[in-house]
């Protein structure tokens, strides 16, 4: 069981625009689904709103400090990283941190592995980016080629 960050980023480190992904690559979505199915996914409330529904065949955990996320039977709403880390001890699966930017930042010290899809474009009008330094302290351990000139790189904490 690991705490894993999974993100798709453009050449200029963009990850979002107007509350959504600024691109649509079926190969990336398929890879994300295959990688996270059967595990837990942790997302912030903005990411939850942009997805709009629980991701099937995954334990959906939504972080909401303000409590504005409606409780529902197929979603666990937690208030803090500490609550997620505490719950992790009881889970028999990996926990994928799936965004957005604040959630990635919040879990930066807990993430043991990054799975990063390199999207072959630059999104000049994006409004959410990964920090330049998010992979500091990590070493690349694998590369996976996807369709459409996309490459997934796997990094493990040094």
Q: What is the mean pLDDT of the chain?
A: 94
Instruction: Please tell me the distance from the alpha carbon of residue 100 to that of residue 44, in angstroms, as a whole number.
Output: 6
- Which pLDDT score, from 0 to 100, does residue 67 have? 67
Instruction: Select from 87, 32, 31 the least CA-distant residue to 61.
Output: 87
Domains of the chain, CATH where assigned: 3-157 (3.40.430.10)
Give 52-93 pLDDT, tens digit per residue: 899 999 999 999 987 678 878 889 999 999 999 999 999 999
Instruction: Please tell me the distance from the alpha carbon of residue 61 to that of residue 44, in angstroms, as a whole number.
Output: 9
- Calculate the CA dihedral of residues 76, 81, 86, 89 and round it to 10 degrees: 90
In this predicted structure, which of 2-6, 74-78, 136-140 has the lowest mean pLDDT?
74-78
- The burial of 26, by beta-carbon neighbours within 10 Å (0-12 exposed, 13-18 middle, 19 or more buried), is given as exposed
Give 9-56 pLDDT, tens digit per residue: 999 999 999 989 999 999 999 999 999 999 999 999 999 999 989 999
- Which pLDDT score, from 0 to 100, does residue 69 have? 84
- 151: cis peptide before it, omega within 30°? no
Q: What is the mean pLDDT of residues 112-116?
A: 98
- Which pLDDT score, from 0 to 100, does residue 4 have? 98
How is 49-116 classified by DSSP, letter by letter?
HHH-SPPTTSEEEEE-SS--SPPBTTEEEES-HHHHHHHHTT-SS-EEEEE-HHHHHHTTTT--EEEE
DSSP type of residue 46: H
Its pTM stands at: 0.95
Q: What are phi and psi of 139, to 5 degrees?
A: -125, 140
- Which pLDDT score, from 0 to 100, does residue 141 have? 98
């Amino acid at each position: 069981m690991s705490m894993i960050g999974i993100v798709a980023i453009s050449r200029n480190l963009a990850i979002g625009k107007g509350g959504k992904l600024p691109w649509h690559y079926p190969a990336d979505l398929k890879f994300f689904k295959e990688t996270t199915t059967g595990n837990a996914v942790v997302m912030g409330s903005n990411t939850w709103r942009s997805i709009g529904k629980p991701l099937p065949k995954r334990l959906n955990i939504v972080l909401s400090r303000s409590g504005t996320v409606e409780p529902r039977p197929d979603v666990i709403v937690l208030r803090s990283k500490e609550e997620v880390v505490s719950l992790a001890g009881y889970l028999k699966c990996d926990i994928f941190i799936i965004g957005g930017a604040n959630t990635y930042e919040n879990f930066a010290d807990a993430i043991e592995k990054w799975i990063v899809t390199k999207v072959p474009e630059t999104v000049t009008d994006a409004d959410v980016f990964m920090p330049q330094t998010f992979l500091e302290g990590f070493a690349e351990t694998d590369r996976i080629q996807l369709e459409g000139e996309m490459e997934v790189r796997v990094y493990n904490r040094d």
